[in-house]
Amino acid sequence: MSEFLDIALSFPPVVFSFGLVIVVLYWITVIVGALDVDIVDVGSETELDAGGGFWSAFGIGAVPFTVVLSLWITLGWIVTVLGTTWVRSTDMFIPPAATGTAVLVAGIGVGMLGAKLLTAPLAKLFEDAPATAHADLVGKVCVVRTGTVTLDSGQAEITDEEGQLLLINVRRSPHEPEGIDPELFARHSKVVVFDYDEIDRVFLVVPVSLPPDLAVMEP
Protein backbone atom coordinates (compact mmCIF):
# COMPACT_ATOMS: atom_id res chain seq x y z
CA MET A 1 0.00 0.00 0.00
CA SER A 2 2.81 2.38 0.89
CA GLU A 3 4.51 1.66 -2.44
CA PHE A 4 1.28 2.41 -4.31
CA LEU A 5 0.85 5.72 -2.49
CA ASP A 6 4.48 6.57 -3.20
CA ILE A 7 3.87 6.07 -6.92
CA ALA A 8 0.50 7.86 -6.92
CA LEU A 9 2.00 10.90 -5.20
CA SER A 10 5.13 11.01 -7.32
CA PHE A 11 5.64 12.81 -10.63
CA PRO A 12 3.85 12.48 -13.00
CA PRO A 13 0.89 10.54 -11.46
CA VAL A 14 0.46 13.28 -8.85
CA VAL A 15 -0.62 15.63 -11.65
CA PHE A 16 -3.72 13.48 -12.13
CA SER A 17 -4.08 12.22 -8.54
CA PHE A 18 -5.40 15.49 -7.17
CA GLY A 19 -7.72 15.84 -10.14
CA LEU A 20 -9.00 12.32 -9.56
CA VAL A 21 -9.85 13.18 -5.95
CA ILE A 22 -11.88 16.16 -7.17
CA VAL A 23 -13.64 13.98 -9.77
CA VAL A 24 -14.59 11.38 -7.15
CA LEU A 25 -15.87 14.05 -4.77
CA TYR A 26 -17.83 15.69 -7.58
CA TRP A 27 -19.64 12.49 -8.59
CA ILE A 28 -20.31 11.59 -4.96
CA THR A 29 -21.93 15.01 -4.61
CA VAL A 30 -24.02 14.34 -7.71
CA ILE A 31 -25.12 10.94 -6.40
CA VAL A 32 -26.13 12.24 -2.98
CA GLY A 33 -27.61 15.45 -4.42
CA ALA A 34 -31.05 14.42 -3.25
CA LEU A 35 -29.82 14.36 0.36
CA ASP A 36 -29.38 17.31 2.68
CA VAL A 37 -26.09 18.45 1.19
CA ASP A 38 -25.20 22.01 0.24
CA ILE A 39 -23.92 21.91 -3.32
CA VAL A 40 -21.68 24.70 -4.55
CA ASP A 41 -23.31 26.38 -7.52
CA VAL A 42 -20.77 26.58 -10.31
CA GLY A 43 -23.20 27.93 -12.86
CA SER A 44 -24.67 26.32 -15.93
CA GLU A 45 -23.19 23.23 -17.48
CA THR A 46 -20.37 24.16 -19.81
CA GLU A 47 -21.49 23.80 -23.38
CA LEU A 48 -19.10 23.12 -26.21
CA ASP A 49 -19.42 24.29 -29.76
CA ALA A 50 -19.61 21.15 -31.88
CA GLY A 51 -18.57 23.14 -34.93
CA GLY A 52 -15.11 24.09 -33.78
CA GLY A 53 -12.71 24.60 -30.95
CA PHE A 54 -10.12 22.49 -29.21
CA TRP A 55 -12.49 19.76 -27.95
CA SER A 56 -14.42 19.34 -31.19
CA ALA A 57 -11.14 18.61 -32.98
CA PHE A 58 -11.12 15.33 -31.06
CA GLY A 59 -14.77 14.59 -31.80
CA ILE A 60 -15.80 15.54 -28.25
CA GLY A 61 -18.80 17.75 -27.56
CA ALA A 62 -21.88 15.55 -27.72
CA VAL A 63 -21.75 14.69 -24.01
CA PRO A 64 -21.51 16.91 -20.90
CA PHE A 65 -18.06 18.39 -20.37
CA THR A 66 -17.87 16.99 -16.83
CA VAL A 67 -18.17 13.44 -18.21
CA VAL A 68 -15.38 14.02 -20.74
CA LEU A 69 -13.11 15.62 -18.15
CA SER A 70 -13.76 12.83 -15.63
CA LEU A 71 -12.84 10.17 -18.19
CA TRP A 72 -9.73 12.05 -19.27
CA ILE A 73 -8.44 12.51 -15.71
CA THR A 74 -9.22 8.90 -14.72
CA LEU A 75 -7.56 7.38 -17.78
CA GLY A 76 -4.60 9.74 -17.52
CA TRP A 77 -4.11 8.74 -13.90
CA ILE A 78 -4.21 5.02 -14.76
CA VAL A 79 -1.69 5.44 -17.60
CA THR A 80 0.76 7.49 -15.51
CA VAL A 81 0.57 5.11 -12.55
CA LEU A 82 1.16 2.06 -14.76
CA GLY A 83 3.87 3.87 -16.72
CA THR A 84 5.70 4.97 -13.57
CA THR A 85 5.45 1.46 -12.13
CA TRP A 86 6.94 -0.01 -15.30
CA VAL A 87 9.78 2.55 -15.41
CA ARG A 88 10.72 1.80 -11.81
CA SER A 89 10.78 -1.93 -12.51
CA THR A 90 13.25 -1.65 -15.40
CA ASP A 91 17.02 -1.77 -14.96
CA MET A 92 17.70 0.87 -17.58
CA PHE A 93 19.13 4.15 -16.37
CA ILE A 94 17.06 6.98 -17.77
CA PRO A 95 17.02 10.48 -16.27
CA PRO A 96 13.91 10.81 -14.06
CA ALA A 97 12.99 14.12 -15.70
CA ALA A 98 12.94 12.47 -19.14
CA THR A 99 10.89 9.45 -18.06
CA GLY A 100 8.50 11.58 -16.03
CA THR A 101 7.86 13.92 -18.92
CA ALA A 102 7.37 11.02 -21.35
CA VAL A 103 4.91 9.27 -19.04
CA LEU A 104 3.03 12.53 -18.47
CA VAL A 105 2.69 13.15 -22.20
CA ALA A 106 1.52 9.56 -22.66
CA GLY A 107 -1.04 10.00 -19.88
CA ILE A 108 -2.42 13.19 -21.43
CA GLY A 109 -2.54 11.75 -24.94
CA VAL A 110 -3.89 8.31 -24.09
CA GLY A 111 -6.36 9.85 -21.64
CA MET A 112 -7.72 12.17 -24.30
CA LEU A 113 -7.89 9.41 -26.92
CA GLY A 114 -9.57 7.05 -24.47
CA ALA A 115 -12.09 9.74 -23.48
CA LYS A 116 -12.92 10.24 -27.16
CA LEU A 117 -13.44 6.50 -27.74
CA LEU A 118 -15.54 6.06 -24.61
CA THR A 119 -17.72 9.10 -25.25
CA ALA A 120 -18.62 7.87 -28.73
CA PRO A 121 -21.20 5.31 -27.45
CA LEU A 122 -22.26 7.70 -24.67
CA ALA A 123 -23.04 10.39 -27.25
CA LYS A 124 -25.65 8.07 -28.74
CA LEU A 125 -27.32 7.71 -25.36
CA PHE A 126 -27.47 11.47 -24.86
CA GLU A 127 -28.76 11.92 -28.40
CA ASP A 128 -31.56 9.40 -27.95
CA ALA A 129 -32.55 10.55 -24.47
CA PRO A 130 -35.67 12.73 -24.50
CA ALA A 131 -34.67 16.28 -23.68
CA THR A 132 -36.72 18.35 -21.30
CA ALA A 133 -37.43 21.78 -22.75
CA HIS A 134 -36.98 24.74 -20.45
CA ALA A 135 -40.58 25.74 -21.07
CA ASP A 136 -41.75 22.38 -19.70
CA LEU A 137 -40.42 23.29 -16.26
CA VAL A 138 -42.08 26.69 -16.05
CA GLY A 139 -44.93 26.55 -13.56
CA LYS A 140 -43.55 23.52 -11.73
CA VAL A 141 -42.82 23.45 -8.02
CA CYS A 142 -39.28 22.59 -6.90
CA VAL A 143 -37.45 22.22 -3.60
CA VAL A 144 -34.43 24.35 -2.72
CA ARG A 145 -31.34 22.21 -2.12
CA THR A 146 -28.69 24.86 -1.44
CA GLY A 147 -28.55 26.92 1.74
CA THR A 148 -30.64 29.61 0.08
CA VAL A 149 -31.48 31.14 -3.29
CA THR A 150 -30.17 34.59 -4.17
CA LEU A 151 -29.84 36.78 -7.24
CA ASP A 152 -26.48 35.12 -7.96
CA SER A 153 -26.67 31.51 -6.78
CA GLY A 154 -28.95 28.64 -5.87
CA GLN A 155 -30.03 25.16 -6.91
CA ALA A 156 -33.30 23.32 -6.60
CA GLU A 157 -34.65 19.83 -7.23
CA ILE A 158 -37.50 19.40 -9.69
CA THR A 159 -39.33 16.55 -11.41
CA ASP A 160 -39.75 16.77 -15.19
CA GLU A 161 -42.58 15.46 -17.37
CA GLU A 162 -40.93 12.03 -17.56
CA GLY A 163 -40.76 11.72 -13.78
CA GLN A 164 -37.00 12.23 -13.75
CA LEU A 165 -35.49 14.14 -10.83
CA LEU A 166 -33.40 17.09 -11.97
CA LEU A 167 -31.08 19.49 -10.16
CA ILE A 168 -31.43 22.91 -11.78
CA ASN A 169 -29.79 26.30 -11.28
CA VAL A 170 -32.29 28.79 -9.89
CA ARG A 171 -32.20 32.49 -9.05
CA ARG A 172 -34.40 35.13 -7.48
CA SER A 173 -35.63 37.72 -9.92
CA PRO A 174 -34.24 41.27 -9.68
CA HIS A 175 -37.81 42.41 -10.45
CA GLU A 176 -39.49 40.56 -7.60
CA PRO A 177 -41.73 42.69 -5.35
CA GLU A 178 -40.33 44.01 -2.10
CA GLY A 179 -41.23 42.45 1.21
CA ILE A 180 -40.57 38.78 0.46
CA ASP A 181 -39.13 36.99 3.47
CA PRO A 182 -35.66 35.57 2.61
CA GLU A 183 -36.55 32.49 4.69
CA LEU A 184 -38.99 31.53 1.94
CA PHE A 185 -35.92 30.79 -0.21
CA ALA A 186 -34.08 28.75 2.45
CA ARG A 187 -33.12 25.09 1.97
CA HIS A 188 -36.11 22.70 1.85
CA SER A 189 -38.42 25.59 0.90
CA LYS A 190 -40.79 25.08 -2.01
CA VAL A 191 -40.51 27.53 -4.87
CA VAL A 192 -42.17 27.67 -8.26
CA VAL A 193 -40.43 28.28 -11.59
CA PHE A 194 -42.01 31.24 -13.36
CA ASP A 195 -39.49 32.00 -16.10
CA TYR A 196 -36.19 30.98 -17.73
CA ASP A 197 -33.35 33.45 -18.24
CA GLU A 198 -31.89 32.69 -21.67
CA ILE A 199 -28.88 34.94 -21.11
CA ASP A 200 -27.68 33.52 -17.78
CA ARG A 201 -29.28 30.11 -18.44
CA VAL A 202 -30.96 29.88 -15.06
CA PHE A 203 -34.54 29.42 -13.89
CA LEU A 204 -36.22 32.26 -12.03
CA VAL A 205 -38.28 31.23 -9.02
CA VAL A 206 -40.69 32.69 -6.51
CA PRO A 207 -41.88 31.18 -3.22
CA VAL A 208 -44.99 29.01 -3.44
CA SER A 209 -46.37 30.77 -0.40
CA LEU A 210 -46.01 34.24 -1.89
CA PRO A 211 -48.42 36.57 -0.07
CA PRO A 212 -51.41 37.51 -2.28
CA ASP A 213 -50.98 41.23 -1.61
CA LEU A 214 -47.63 41.31 -3.41
CA ALA A 215 -47.45 42.27 -7.06
CA VAL A 216 -47.40 39.67 -9.80
CA MET A 217 -43.90 38.68 -10.86
CA GLU A 218 -42.53 40.02 -14.11
CA PRO A 219 -39.87 38.07 -16.11
Count up the domains in the chain and report the number: 2
The pairing of strands 190-197 and 202-207 is antiparallel
Within a domain: 212: no
Residue type, 13: P
118 with 141, same domain? no
pLDDT of residue 46: 38
Within a domain: 217: no
Domain stop point among 128, 155, 177: 128
- Judged on CB neighbours under 10 Å (0-12, 13-18, 19+), 158 is buried
Q: Which domain holds residue 100?
A: 2-128
Cα(135)–Cα(192) distance, integer angstroms? 13
85 with 39, same domain? yes
Domain stop point among 98, 128, 158: 128
123 with 138, same domain? no
Contact 197, 151 (CB under 8 A): no
115 with 168, same domain? no
pLDDT digits (tens, 9 = 90+) for 175-195: 888 888 889 999 999 999 999
Phi, psi (degrees; rounded to nearest 5) at 202: -135, 160
- Judged on CB neighbours under 10 Å (0-12, 13-18, 19+), 148 is middle
43 with 149, same domain? no
Within a domain: 218: no
Question: Which ranges constitute the DSSP H helices of 153-199?
Answer: none
Within a domain: 200: yes
143 with 102, same domain? no
Q: Which of 76, 156, 87, 144 is nearest to 110 (CA)?
A: 76
Structure pTM? 0.53
Under DSSP, the state recorded for 197 is: E
CATH number at residue 168: 2.40.50.140
β-partners of residue 159 are: 165
The whole-number average pLDDT for the span 20-40 is 67
Name, in order, each residue with C-beta under 8 angstroms of 210's C-beta and a sequence gap of 6 or more. 180, 184
pLDDT digits (tens, 9 = 90+) for 9-29: 899 999 999 999 998 988 887
Q: CA 62, 63, 67: angle at the middle one, nearest 5?
A: 150
pLDDT digits (tens, 9 = 90+) for 118-167: 887 776 665 555 555 687 888 999 999 999 999 999 999 998 777 778 88
pLDDT digits (tens, 9 = 90+) for 59-76: 555 567 788 889 999 999
